[in-house]
């Protein structure tokens, strides 16, 4: 008996000793691994990378920028159904364990012993948080030990809901999506709150291996894993068996969210916003900061602008003939595969790539490029159509001459004629159009070329081009602001200017000939170079350069006389901004594509409108003390001068180089611009509430032809856009500022007249033509007001 007691004592002593040794070993192990553990307290202030989202003025989504596609949802905003799906799939004891789940470890070990390696592992959600946030993906016992130790600490420091929040926002769920919010949008085009049981279960199936459960390439495996999660949810009491069976019977319908259709037409606009955000905040904040950007874009106006510009570019391009196919391929039984592999521009819809299958004298049969499936594979569906003689009439060739089997071309459906198409070609010429609110500088629409997919170079903001005669209103506004009147007389006669290099510059009018003395108004309306140079010489180029700086056309303009004819280089955006200041009465504005920027927490960190509103924070409205907006913007031009040049540019459209725009039927002002050899064509103009600028030219400047004029190609684009943009707007006259005197004068002489050809001319106080005139020694003195005889007086004379 004593021997047995001693044996039992020995066993207990040995056991105790082994327990102590094990405890010491475990303690030592914990001590060793604890020394190098990452600081888990950083999870308290963790801010994950979140995508920046850019919205149009109406709230529609234009673009997203991110390294990791993620939207962050706090725990109280994540639906219980989503939480339950992930807990069932990944960690059913999440709410009861302390970071490490012994039951899960034993279960995983038993399954592993049975040789099955493809079921739920032993890591808890807390362990996955520790690994994803604080450790690496290294597969080793060292990492697993650190992971377990960190999990225990995390569980003591944070609530279960905080841990689950971190996990559900960090986890990678395939197709570039991180977190449940982004995945819900990009798999099902839904918010997390809208997910069904089957959809939530599919997302919860993905953490084990997103590529293994790709909904297109591995559809059967994806459905099987989804159904497994549904069964676990039923088993855990999160769903009834009836609901579970119904969810398992549902097809796996993945509907990736597409950006707004507006984004296709707004590529240049969105990219300009991206560049500004990057310049303002840097790459990290742009792609990871979760900014919410509300832009100034008007989606409807953007579509109008794109249509007007594209139509104008095609008018010019097609007038210069057909240049042949994009590519030639062999016609085989599976022509669709060959055609489908050719990259097509994604922003030229409804254009489509097509291959000519056969052609005769009057028609051609074409095969249309098959679309790509969601999986990225080329569709097996083959679609054909026909090109008729009308569809290639612009080529001025017969069908067999223009098209041959194997030619790859762009075609456009003929409206109202099913299966019939029109031949198209990508224009060589390019251009830009910008539409702006003249009172705020908000850009409603911007198109920087024919296709953003073809070239991201933005001709609205990046192309430095000569504005030509579209710069003349700045010259004439300078004169009107410094003593001239619209009736001041200037000579349209040859002039010679000695250059610093000893050469003589002899400017010429665009149209040959010169016609003697004319009013300042006439010089703008008919874009007379000789009159402009004489005027610029008289008022001085340094003064004109100062006004060009005020209007933002140039930062530092050279003071050579040719600059008065628009020989410098500027951008469409700068010119539209300058004309906006003429339209708004001479107030300085800053162009902007962004109204407001908010950070990830919803705090406004940028607002374009800097005006102060006095009384807007009053607790209640007081009719006797209405809120007032304080406008401290700089006055860069006398409002009376701004109205005078606006009235003169109305004449450009009524009688001058922009007469084709009259058919819009609204009060409009503007100016054409054609440079030497027609390398640049412009039209900049405005209504009382909208300023629009159009530019056309080759990217490598070259002549557009002897007959090319802004009046022929640029003005019609402005006309077409204004027809659409102002279609449902009333015809509003330009506001006449206090102090302007409208006097009836003869349009040719500028003298008082109420007969045929008389117009209402705008004069500042004290500058109106007198009622009577006297003659003088000069052969043209009869055209000159008696009070304005002195050459250089600024209110008249012959220059």
Residue linked to tokens 């700089």: 634
> For the ranges 326-340, 420-434, 681-695, which has the lowest average pLDDT?
326-340
* 44 vs 252, higher pLDDT: 252
Mean pLDDT of the chain: 87
State the pLDDT confidence band at 784, using cuts at 50, 70 and 90. Answer: very low
What is the number of residues in the chain? 799
Average pLDDT over residues 715-727: 98
Question: Is the pLDDT at 32 greater than 80, yes or no?
Answer: no
Quick one: pLDDT at residue 667?
97
Kindly tell me if the per-residue pLDDT of 541 is higher than 80.
yes
Contact 569, 464 (CB under 8 A): yes
Q: Crossing angle for the helix pair 219-235 and 80-90, nearest 10 degrees?
A: 100
Percent of the chain with pLDDT over 70: 86
Task: Transcribe 541-606 into DSSP letters.
Answer: HHHHHHHHHHTTS-SS----GGGGGT-S-B-HHHHHHHHHHHHTTSB----BSEEEEE-TTS-EEE
Catalytic residues: 90, 469
The pLDDT of residue 19 = 52
Range scoring the smallest mean pLDDT among 100-114, 407-421, 594-608, 710-724:
100-114
Q: Give the pLDDT mean for 182-199.
A: 94
Higher pLDDT, 98 or 392: 392
Name the one residue in this structure whose structure tokens are 């500042």. Answer: 764
Dig out the tokens for 537 from the structure: 């010489």
Pairing mode, strands 690-697 and 327-328: unpaired
- Could you tell me the two tokens for 351? 């254009």
- Pull the structure tokens for residue 227: 């159904």
pLDDT above 50: residue 785: no
Q: Report residue 255 as tokens.
A: 């509907």
Closest residue by Cα to residue 650 from 635, 661, 638: 661
Q: How much is the pLDDT for 155?
A: 83
d(CA 105, CA 107) in angstroms, rounded, equals 5
Look at residues 106, 104, 100 and name the one whose alpha carbon lies nearest to residue 120: 104
pLDDT in the model for residue 206 = 95
Pair 287, 257: CB distance under 8 Å: no
Q: Flag whether pLDDT at 670 surpasses 60.
A: yes
User: Is 23 or 284 the better-scoring residue by pLDDT?
Assistant: 284
Specify the pLDDT at position 741: 96
Share of the chain above pLDDT 90, in %: 69
Q: Is the model's pLDDT at 247 over the cut of 80?
A: yes
pLDDT at 121: 52
* Whether the predicted pLDDT of 212 surpasses 80: yes
pLDDT score for 599? 94
- Reported as a pLDDT band with limits 50, 70 and 90, residue 7 is low
Do the beta carbons of residue 541 and residue 567 sit within 8 Å? no
Greater confidence (99 vs 179) lies with 179
**Beta strands 292-295 and 52-55: pairing type?**
parallel
Output Rg (C-alpha) for the chain, integer angstroms.
Answer: 37
Task: Identify any residues that bridge with 386 across adjacent strands, giving them in sequence order.
Answer: 365, 420
Burial grade of 42 (CB within 10 A; 0-12, 13-18, 19 or more): exposed
Which range of 128-142, 282-296, 332-346 scores highest in mean pLDDT? It is: 282-296
Q: What is the mean pLDDT of residues 489-504?
A: 90
Let me know how many helices (H) and strands (E) the chain has, helices first: 23, 26
pLDDT for position 22: 53
> How far is Cα 3 from Cα 106, in angstroms, rounded to an integer?
39
Query: Is residue 768 within 8 Å of residue 741, measured between CB atoms?
Result: yes
Q: State the distance between the two ends of the chain, measured CA to CA, in whole angstroms.
A: 138
Stronger pLDDT, 570 or 620, i.e. the higher one: 570
* DSSP-derived pairing of the beta strands 177-178 and 69-70: parallel
DSSP state of 15: H
Four-point Cα dihedral 403, 405, 406, 412, nearest 10: 50
Give the global pTM.
Answer: 0.86
Find out whether 304 and 721 touch, Cβ atoms under 8 Å: yes
Establish whether the linkage from the previous residue to 350 is cis, with ω within 30° of 0. yes
Smallest CA-to-CA distance from 463 within 701, 675, 692, 716 is with 701
Q: Phi and psi (nearest 5°) for 33?
A: -75, -25
Residue 714 has pLDDT above 90, yes or no: yes
Q: Is the pLDDT of residue 797 over 70?
A: no
Q: What percent of the chain is helix, strand and coil (3-state, nearest 5)?
A: 40, 15, 45
Note if the bond before 754 is cis, omega within 30 degrees: no
Residues whose CB is less than 8 angstroms from the CB of residue 599 and which lie 6 or more positions away in sequence, other chains included = 289, 290, 291, 292, 605
Stretch 569-584: mean pLDDT: 98
- Of 532, 581, 565, 573, the C-alpha closest to 466 is 565
Res. 3: pLDDT tops 80: no
Q: What is the mean pLDDT of residues 295-303?
A: 96
Instruction: Please give the full DSSP string across 340-369, using - where no structure is assigned.
Output: HTS---TTSTT-EEEEEEEE-SSEEEEEEP
What is the structure's pLDDT at 378? Answer: 83
Query: What token pair was written down for 444?
Result: 């409603």
The pLDDT confidence band at residue 776, using thresholds 50, 70 and 90, is very low
């Amino acid at each position: 008996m004593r021997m047995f007691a001693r044996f039992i004592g020995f066993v207990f002593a040995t056991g105790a000793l082994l327990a102590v040794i094990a405890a010491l070993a475990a303690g030592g192990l914990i001590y060793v691994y604890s020394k190098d553990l990452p600081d888990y307290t950083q999870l308290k202030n963790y801010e994950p990378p979140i995508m920046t989202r850019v919205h149009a003025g109406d709230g529609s989504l234009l673009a997203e920028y991110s390294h990791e596609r993620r939207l962050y949802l706090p725990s109280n905003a994540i639906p219980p159904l989503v939480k339950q799906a992930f807990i069932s799939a990944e960690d059913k004891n999440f709410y009861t364990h302390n970071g490490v789940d012994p039951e899960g470890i034993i279960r995983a070990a038993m399954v592993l012993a049975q040789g099955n390696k493809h079921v739920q592992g032993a890591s808890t959600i807390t362990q996955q948080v520790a690994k994803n946030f604080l450790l690496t993906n290294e597969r080793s016992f060292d990492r697993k030990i650190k992971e377990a130790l960190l999990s225990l600490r995390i569980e003591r420091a944070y609530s279960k809901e905080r841990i689950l929040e971190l996990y559900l926002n960090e986890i990678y769920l395939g197709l570039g999506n991180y977190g449940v919010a982004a995945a819900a949008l990009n798999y099902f085009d839904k918010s997390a709150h809208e997910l069904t049981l089957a959809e939530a279960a599919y997302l919860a199936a993905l953490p084990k291996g997103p590529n293994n459960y790709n909904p297109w390439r591995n559809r059967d495996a994806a459905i099987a894993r989804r159904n497994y999660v549904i069964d676990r949810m039923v088993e855990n009491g999160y769903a009834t068996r009836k609901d579970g069976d119904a969810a398992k019977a549902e097809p796996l319908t993945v509907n990736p969210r597409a950006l707004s259709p507006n984004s296709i037409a707004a590529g240049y606009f969105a990219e300009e916003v991206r560049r500004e955000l990057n310049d303002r905040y840097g790459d990290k904040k742009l792609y990871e900061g979760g900014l919410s950007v509300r832009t100034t874009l008007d989606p409807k106006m953007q579509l109008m602008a794109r249509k007007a510009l594209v139509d104008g570019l095609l008018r010019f391009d097609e007038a210069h003939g057909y240049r042949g196919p994009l590519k030639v391929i062999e016609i085989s039984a599976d022509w669709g595969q060959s055609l489908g592999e050719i990259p097509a521009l994604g922003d030229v819809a409804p254009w489509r790539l097509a291959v000519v299958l056969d052609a005769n004298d009057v028609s051609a049969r074409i095969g249309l490029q098959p679309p790509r499936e969601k999986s990225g594979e080329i569709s097996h569906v083959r679609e054909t159509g026909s090109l008729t003689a009308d569809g290639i009439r612009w080529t001025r060739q017969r069908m067999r001459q223009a098209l041959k089997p194997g030619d790859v071309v762009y075609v456009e459906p003929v409206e109202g004629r099913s299966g019939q198409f029109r031949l198209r070609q990508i224009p060589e010429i390019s251009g830009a159009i910008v539409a702006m609110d003249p009172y705020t500088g908000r850009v409603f629409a911007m198109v920087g070329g024919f296709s953003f997919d073809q070239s991201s170079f933005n001709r609205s903001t990046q192309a430095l081009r000569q504005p030509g005669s579209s710069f003349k209103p700045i010259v004439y506004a300078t004169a009107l602001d410094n003593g001239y009147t619209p009736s001041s007389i200037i000579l349209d006669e040859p002039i010679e200017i000695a250059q610093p290099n000893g050469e003589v510059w002899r400017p010429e009018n665009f149209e040959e000939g010169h016609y003697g003395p004319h009013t300042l108004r006439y010089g703008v309306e008919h874009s007379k170079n000789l009159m402009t140079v004489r005027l610029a010489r008289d008022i001085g180029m340094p003064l004109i350069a100062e006004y060009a700086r005020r209007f933002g056309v140039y930062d530092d303009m050279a003071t050579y006389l040719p600059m008065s004819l628009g020989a410098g280089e500027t951008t469409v955006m700068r010119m539209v901004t300058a004309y906006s200041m003429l339209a708004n009465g001479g107030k300085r504005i800053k162009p902007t594509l962004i109204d407001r920027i908010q950070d990830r927490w919803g705090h406004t960190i940028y607002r374009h409108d800097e005006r102060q509103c006095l009384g807007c924070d009053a607790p209640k409205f007081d009719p006797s003390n209405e809120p007032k907006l304080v406008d401290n913007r700089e006055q860069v031009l006398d409002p009376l001068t701004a109205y005078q040049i606006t009235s003169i540019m109305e004449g450009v459209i009524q009688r001058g180089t922009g007469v084709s725009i009259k058919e819009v039927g609204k009060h409009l002002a503007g100016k054409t611009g054609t440079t030497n050899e027609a390398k640049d064509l412009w039209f900049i103009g405005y209504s009382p509430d909208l300023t629009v600028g159009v530019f056309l030219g080759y990217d490598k400047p070259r002549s557009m032809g002897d007959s090319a004029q802004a009046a022929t190609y640029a003005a019609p684009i402005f006309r077409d856009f204004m027809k659409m943009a102002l279609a449902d707007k009333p015809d509003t006259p330009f506001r006449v500022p206090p102090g302007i005197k409208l006097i009836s004068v003869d349009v040719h002489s500028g003298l008082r007249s109420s007969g045929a050809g008389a117009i209402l001319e705008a004069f500042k106080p004290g500058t109106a033509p007198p009622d009577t005139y006297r003659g003088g020694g000069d052969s043209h003195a009869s055209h000159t007001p008696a009070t304005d005889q002195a050459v250089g007086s600024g209110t008249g004379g012959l220059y």
